[in-house]
Structure 1
Amino acid sequence: MKARLSGRPRIETVNGSSYWVQAYYTPSGQRKRVTAQSGREAKQLAKERLASELQDEAIAQGYTTFEKFAEKFIRDSRNGRDGEQPLQPATIAGYESYLRNWINPKLGALPLGDINTAKMREFRDHLIARCPSRNTAKHALNLAKAIFTYAALLDAVFANPAEGVKIKLDWSAHEDLKSDRIPSEQDMAEIDEMARDLYYSDDPRIAQTYRRYYPMFLILRMTGVRISECLGLQWGDFETGYSSVTISRKVDRARGNQSLKQRVGKTKTKNSRRTIPVPQPVRPIIAEWRLACPATKEGWVFPTKAGRPLDYNNVKNKFWKPLLRRVNTRRDEQFRQQLVDHGLHGLRHFFVSLLVREGRIKEASAFAGHSSVAFTLDQYGHLIPNDTRTMEEVTRIVSRDLIV
């Protein structure tokens, strides 16, 4: 960022008269000065002059409105902003959705330089009132803040007007969600039983359908991989004998006219690239599916008839929802809707929760591909046992060297 204030206001005296001077650099790097009767006035005047020059420069570059600059933000995000890696197509699609539905209707037509902190506070209140949840409102506000941060970096605005404007979430609702998204062991046992019965069904049509969906279900259920990672599996990712599987790519859900190349990408993060053990009971099922799996050039484990990876919506609508409809539980519709809302990701949550309950937090973090053990603890720490035995062990440890 070239455009900035240069130092602090200072007093200069010429021919016995004193006045305050504030220097600043223009977008082109030229150093200019303004004078005033006080340091505060000089600094404010310099900011106003600088903001005006930045706005003129932004208009010259075609960034006449917030929406116009947001378009540049999206273009540069596809290629990698400021030397960063390009964002994944799924992330870009999410940004575009937030801009289209929540941000541009309120800010899009406004000149970029005219949006100040007061307007951003109004925008925040608008989001809280209109968005379906505070979480959605927070995501929309954070994206707008990121766009302004990039605008300041490129000297399209003097400073981020959204700095300090925030939306806080209800911590209790967030904590409740952590528990609600995880199926109970009883519920999962009923899902396991139904999936297995359908796989071994006497009805040829049902058995044929679950010939590929049951191996997918077991991989999701027993390894904790994300559904996008599961859809990205190729046969070469499995160790001999299917004892383990290496996660090295993902396949995003199909959007619009995206090509397969656009859907297939690297894992979500560096930590997401990992090798996970496959439980013994699952291996024969995977081996059986390999014999029946349609061959593809890339060796996709779960391909369509056309030889492309399955799409998330296809799996959700043709497998997950029908499976839940068949499951009889005490909670019935409430239970099914809860799992539908959390999608196939609920299987991943269940896998991680089992390891955490057993105290295997490091393994849970590694197998899930989390960024850190701290993240795993934040998301699943409430599951750590706090029974009497555990409390007695803690008491004994902390008081071991105590002398009273």
Structure 2
Amino acid sequence: MEGSIRQRSKGSWEITIDAGRDPATGKRQRHFESVKGTKRDAQQRLHELLLSVEQGVYIKPTRISLGEWLGDWLNSYVATNCSLATIRSYETEVRCHLIPALGAIPLTHLQPQHLQSYYAHALSQGRVDGKGGLSARTVQYDDHILSNALSHAVKMGLLVRNVADAVDPPRPEKKNMATLLPEDVPRFLETAHETPYYELFYTALYTGMRLGELLGLRWCDVDLDMASLSVVQALYKHSGVCKMVRPKSSHSRRQIALSPSLALLLRQHRGEQQARGILLGKPLADTDLVFCRTNGKPIEPAVVSHTHATVLKKAGLPHIRFHDLRHTHATLMLKQGVHPKIVSERLGHSSVAITVPKIGEGEEERQLVAMAIILLMLNTNGSFGDITIGEGLEEMAGVIDQERIRNLENQIKLLTPKKP
């Protein structure tokens, strides 16, 4: 097996390898490739090519570019395996950022330094409007898209390895999610009562459902007698058109238990819709939407988001997104000692690891509870030596108000293993 390197110009090298004979024609195969960089870069690429020939995984180079492959990948794999929201998001990133910067590079010539250079450039001046760079989170998302696309190219036999694995994308600064404080919830709901969407806001806070899931909820999905509902579809809007789609994953298709107050509220809401339907000469059907306009058509998501912002402003509360009501629901449940696994299932997350890191409020409480449980497991009388649980918590965390101590005590009692 032979290979050679020849310098073509400053910073440019030509690699030649003997790839053996074509099994079909018996003709000798030679591979030529240009590498930009140092001689060491060229030697490393030559070593990779020779190793692929030796291991029998050498792939004959094609003329397809990275841009062409990204387009094929979007149309074939992504279009059939991802949700509509993910498809649109991927298409936007590929069209606006990845193809303009990297699309012309031949797929088989793509190197880690190409990606690393793009990430650095995108952070400093990657915006389409020319007004600065992209956020670290957006560049990390671009890396995620490229990694997935290149992994699929490896599976399809177009590449030997995924070069994105050798690149370190920027790490965005971790931020705690914004939520309503427990004492802010009554004020928010009181103000929301003046809007046509009070029942929707109440359901969002008490179930943690996504906006699209709420707007896609039908009466046949709600069992008021059993106080539960099933998430089986969601409203999705693109290019001005609303359509109902299946939730993005099997975990999103879930059943959620309703609190007595929410079940009662929805029963009253259904009664009002039935009465309005009789007046309009259109009786309420099981397939009708729970939250809709007076004519039964879906509510525009932007209208709900705008009303939500107005309610917060009128109530004198800090601005948070409608989606943050979902985080509020999770935070309140975790603070009350509900197991993270149960919270994760209610939210439709595939893993508890997705749920807990998103919740900023309550982290200190969870750490205190964990420490308290460890200490309690070392004692036989269920206390911190000769002091009570509350006194022990105060010793660990300084001054804690009595209501917080009671909440923490309840969490500890629920989670502490009982001694035989």
Q: Same fold by TM (over 0.5)?
A: yes
8 Å Cα contact 2:220-2:287 kept in structure 1: no
CA shift, 1:79, in A, is 4.5
The correspondence for 1:145, drawn from 144, 147, 162, is 147
Counterpart for residue 106 of structure 1: 101
Cα deviation, 1:268-306, whole Å, max 9, x if unaligned, reads 322222222222222333223323436568311123466
Within 2, Cα distance between the matches of 1:287 and 1:346? 26
Q: Within the alignment, does 1:313 sit opposite 2:299 as a pair?
A: no
Provide closer, same or farther for how the CA distance between residues 219 and 52 of structure 1 changes in structure 2, counting only shifts above 3 A.
same
Cα deviation, 1:16-48, whole Å, max 9, x if unaligned, reads xxxxx997798999998889xxxx977644759
Provide closer, same or farther for how the CA distance between residues 25 and 133 of structure 1 changes in structure 2, counting only shifts above 3 A.
farther
The correspondence for 2:166, drawn from 155, 164, 170, is 164
The correspondence for 1:120, drawn from 115, 132, 138, is 115
Provide closer, same or farther for how the CA distance between residues 52 and 269 of structure 1 changes in structure 2, counting only shifts above 3 A.
closer
Q: Within the alignment, does 1:271 sit opposite 2:251 as a pair?
A: yes
Secondary structure at the counterpart of residue 255 of structure 2: strand
8 Å Cα contact 2:224-2:267 kept in structure 1: no
Q: Percent identity?
A: 20
Secondary structure at the counterpart of residue 298 of structure 1: coil
Provide closer, same or farther for how the CA distance between residues 123 and 391 of structure 1 changes in structure 2, counting only shifts above 3 A.
closer
The correspondence for 1:55, drawn from 37, 61, 65, is 61
Within 2, Cα distance between the matches of 1:289 and 1:33? 74
8 Å Cα contact 1:215-1:286 kept in structure 2: yes
Within 1, Cα distance between the matches of 2:288 and 2:121? 49
Counterpart for residue 329 of structure 2: 351
Counterpart for residue 216 of structure 2: 232
Within 1, Cα distance between the matches of 2:358 and 2:26? 50
CA shift, 1:117, in A, is 1.8
The correspondence for 1:184, drawn from 181, 185, 193, is 181
Provide closer, same or farther for how the CA distance between residues 155 and 387 of structure 1 changes in structure 2, counting only shifts above 3 A.
closer
Within 2, Cα distance between the matches of 1:78 and 1:27? 34
CA shift, 1:136, in A, is 0.9
8 Å Cα contact 2:122-2:134 kept in structure 1: no
Counterpart for residue 75 of structure 2: 75
Q: Within the alignment, does 1:195 sit opposite 2:192 as a pair?
A: yes
Secondary structure at the counterpart of residue 85 of structure 2: helix
Within 1, Cα distance between the matches of 2:323 and 2:24? 50
The correspondence for 1:256, drawn from 191, 215, 239, is 239
Of 140-149 and 128-137, the range deviating more from structure 2: 128-137
Of 41-50 and 286-295, the range deviating more from structure 2: 41-50
Unaligned runs of 5+ residues in structure 1 are: 1-8, 11-20, 81-85, 199-209, 330-334
8 Å Cα contact 1:229-1:249 kept in structure 2: yes
**Amino acid corresponding to residue 255 of structure 2 in structure 1:** T
Provide closer, same or farther for how the CA distance between residues 305 and 44 of structure 1 changes in structure 2, counting only shifts above 3 A.
same
8 Å Cα contact 1:22-1:42 kept in structure 2: no
8 Å Cα contact 1:54-1:157 kept in structure 2: no
Secondary structure at the counterpart of residue 251 of structure 1: strand
CA shift, 1:226, in A, is 1.3
CA shift, 1:363, in A, is 2.4
How is 1:251-400 mapped onto 2 (pairs within 5 angstroms)?
251-252=235-236, 254-256=237-239, 258=241, 260=242, 263-293=243-273, 295=284, 298-304=287-293, 307-317=296-306, 319-329=307-317, 335-336=318-319, 339=320, 343-361=321-339, 362-380=341-359, 383=362, 385=365, 391-400=371-380
Provide closer, same or farther for how the CA distance between residues 184 and 243 of structure 1 changes in structure 2, counting only shifts above 3 A.
same
Provide closer, same or farther for how the CA distance between residues 149 and 41 of structure 1 changes in structure 2, counting only shifts above 3 A.
closer
Within 1, Cα distance between the matches of 2:178 and 2:360? 14
Provide closer, same or farther for how the CA distance between residues 165 and 300 of structure 1 changes in structure 2, counting only shifts above 3 A.
same
Within 1, Cα distance between the matches of 2:209 and 2:166? 37
8 Å Cα contact 2:90-2:145 kept in structure 1: yes
Within 2, Cα distance between the matches of 1:282 and 1:27? 70
Cα deviation, 1:187-242, whole Å, max 9, x if unaligned, reads 3332122113x1xxxxxxxxxxx33x111111101111111211110001111347
Within 2, Cα distance between the matches of 1:298 and 1:218? 22
Counterpart for residue 135 of structure 2: 133
Counterpart for residue 4 of structure 1: none
Within 2, Cα distance between the matches of 1:68 and 1:99? 11
In the alignment of these two chains, the number of paired residues is 336
8 Å Cα contact 1:249-1:265 kept in structure 2: yes
Within 2, Cα distance between the matches of 1:284 and 1:76? 47
Cα deviation, 1:325-366, whole Å, max 9, x if unaligned, reads 21224xxxxx22xx0xxx211111111111111221232122
**Amino acid corresponding to residue 248 of structure 1 in structure 2:** V
Q: CA RMSD in A?
A: 3.8
Within 1, Cα distance between the matches of 2:152 and 2:191? 51
**Amino acid corresponding to residue 61 of structure 2 in structure 1:** Q
CA shift, 1:308, in A, is 3.8
CA shift, 1:380, in A, is 3.5
Counterpart for residue 5 of structure 1: none
Provide closer, same or farther for how the CA distance between residues 359 and 116 of structure 1 changes in structure 2, counting only shifts above 3 A.
same
TM-score by length of 1: 0.71
CA shift, 1:94, in A, is 0.3
Q: Which of the pair is proportionally richer in helix? A: 1
TM-score by length of 2: 0.69
Within 2, Cα distance between the matches of 1:28 and 1:190? 77
Within 2, Cα distance between the matches of 1:29 and 1:128? 49
Cα deviation, 1:148-169, whole Å, max 9, x if unaligned, reads 2222222333432222212242
Provide closer, same or farther for how the CA distance between residues 25 and 369 of structure 1 changes in structure 2, counting only shifts above 3 A.
farther
